[in-house]
A and B are shown apart, each in its own frame.
With several copies, the nearest count.
Chain A
Amino acid sequence: MAIRIRYFASLRETMGRTSEDINPEGIATVADLWKVLDEGRPLPDRVLCAVNQEHATATTLVHDGDEVAFFPPVTGG
């Protein structure tokens, strides 16, 4: 399936990229997706995520065409 990945703030700097389009196989959740992106490592607690621009968790399901974002705790306001 086709997934659009986005990274923000310190995580964007750590990952060394702003976004990427990937076509992973055999993944169901955000946690599965992260492993593909980060060389098999599990999703760290301090990394937050959104699916299609809504807050999500490690167990949120991802589908073909989704936009999935990863970012550190938010600090606006």
Chain B
Amino acid sequence: MIQTISLRDHPFDPYAELSAFTTQLKAERQLYGAESHFIGTMRNFNEGAAVSTLWLEHYPGMTEGEIARIIEEERKNLGFGPALVIHRIGQVAPGEPIVVIALFSTHRRAALEGTQRIIERLKHEAPFWKKERTPQGDRWVESNTKG
């Protein structure tokens, strides 16, 4: 099964990444009638404060392992095919994508539900930590919101 999990310390173009991943599937692409994507982007506001930059810390090795485990468990449940997850690490500026998820499946349900479940689980299980730089100083984001 073609699968890419990639942590990036520089900005990337999510549309070019999605296009390149699909190209990589070659003829296999035609097996999948459905393709679902999620892109999470850094806003310039969070909980009432202007945010100028974000610092994303992670746990090298475990972070990639957790993402792979989440994908594997959801693939077993839902039956989707190829999967792409890209996540930023290090310093991120407003407007830059933080996370991209893409799933391919024969029928739409597996890709759509898989995308929703993977972003939800990634936010609560994969070891990443955000620190925001605001005019009032730096602050660690204390928890992720549900939904």
Direct contact of A and B (CB under 8 A): yes
Binding site for B on A (CB under 8 A): 6, 8-10, 50, 53-55, 69, 71-77
> A77 to B129, Cβ gap below 8 A?
no
- B125 interface hit (Cβ, 8 Å): yes
Which of B9-17, B22-30, B53-61, B74-82 is found at the contact surface with chain A?
A: B53-61
Using known A-B contacts A10-B140, A55-B125, determine if residue A75 contacts B130 with beta carbons closer than 8 Å: yes
> B129 to A53, Cβ gap below 8 A?
no
Determine how close the nearest CB of chain A comes to the CB of B97; give it in whole angstroms.
Answer: 11
How far, in whole Å, are A72 and B131 apart by their CA atoms in the complex? 12
How far, in whole Å, are A72 and B130 apart by their CA atoms in the complex? 11
The 6 tightest CB contacts between A and B, nearest first, are A76-B128, A9-B129, A53-B62, A77-B123, A75-B141, A10-B140
Jot down 26 A-B pairs with beta carbons below 8 A, ordered by A: A10-B129, A50-B127, A53-B61, A53-B65, A54-B62, A54-B65, A55-B66, A55-B125, A71-B127, A73-B143, A73-B144, A74-B125, A75-B123, A75-B128, A75-B129, A75-B140, A75-B142, A75-B144, A76-B58, A76-B126, A76-B127, A76-B129, A76-B130, A77-B99, A77-B128, A77-B144
* Residue among A6, A53, A55 facing the most chain B CB atoms (10 A cut-off): A53
Q: Which residues on A sit within 8 Å (CB–CB) of B142?
A: 72-73, 75
From A8, A10, A53, A74, contact of B144 by CB (8 A): A74
Binding site for A on B (CB under 8 A): 40, 56-59, 61-62, 65-66, 87, 98-99, 119, 122-131, 140-144
| Residue in chain B with minimal CB distance to A12 | B57
From B59, B65, B119, B144, contact of A71 by CB (8 A): B59
> B123 to A50, Cβ gap below 8 A?
no
| Residue in chain A with minimal CB distance to B131 | A9
Determine how close the nearest CB of chain B comes to the CB of A62; give it in whole angstroms.
Answer: 16
> B123 to A72, Cβ gap below 8 A?
no
How far, in whole Å, are A75 and B139 apart by their CA atoms in the complex? 13
